[in-house]
Structure 1
Amino acid sequence: MKRLLWFLIAGGSGFLIDAGITLALIEWTPAGPYIARAIAIFAAMGFTWFVNRNYTFGRSSHSLTIEGIRYWTVGITAALVNYVVYSVLLYRAPVLQPLAAIVFASLAGMAYSFFGYSRFVFRR
Structure 2
Amino acid sequence: MQSLISKQFLQFLIVGGSAFLVDFGIFYIGLNYLDHNLYIVRSYSFFFAVLTTFYGNRRYTFKDRFHLSSKVQIPKAFTSALLSLIPNFAVFTVIVALFPSPIFHYFAFILGVVAGTFSNYILSDKYIFNSESK
Q: TM-score, normalised by structure 1?
A: 0.89
C-alpha distance in 2, partners of 1:105/1:75? 13
Q: 2:106 aligns with which of 87, 96, 99?
A: 99
Greater length-normalized contact order (CA 8 Å, ≥ 6 residues apart): 1
Instruction: Point out the structure with the larger helix share.
Output: 1
Indicate whether 1:118 and 2:125 are aligned: yes
Q: Where does the alignment leave 5 or more consecutive residues of structure 1 unmatched?
A: none
**Change over 3 Å in CA distance of 1:73–1:60 after alignment to 2:** farther
Q: Deviations over 1:5-58 (max 9, x none)?
A: 210111111111111111111111131221111110111111111100111112
Other-structure match for 1:32:
37
Which residue identity lines up with residue 76 of structure 2 in the other structure?
R
Is the deviation greater in 92-101 or in 10-19?
A: 92-101
C-alpha distance in 1, partners of 2:108/2:74? 28
Which residue identity lines up with residue 124 of structure 2 in the other structure?
Y
Q: Which runs of 4+ in 1 moved over 4 A?
A: none
Q: Where does the alignment leave 5 or more consecutive residues of structure 2 unmatched?
A: 1-5
Which structure: larger Rg? 2
C-alpha distance in 1, partners of 2:129/2:8? 12
Is the deviation greater in 29-38 or in 63-72?
A: 63-72
CA-based RMSD: 1.7
Trace 1:1-124 onto structure 2 (pairs within 5 A): 1-58=6-63, 59-95=65-101, 97-124=104-131
Q: TM-score, normalised by structure 2?
A: 0.83
Which residue identity lines up with residue 116 of structure 1 in the other structure?
L
Aligned-pair CA distance for 1:80 = 3.5
Identity over the aligned pairs, expressed in percent?
28
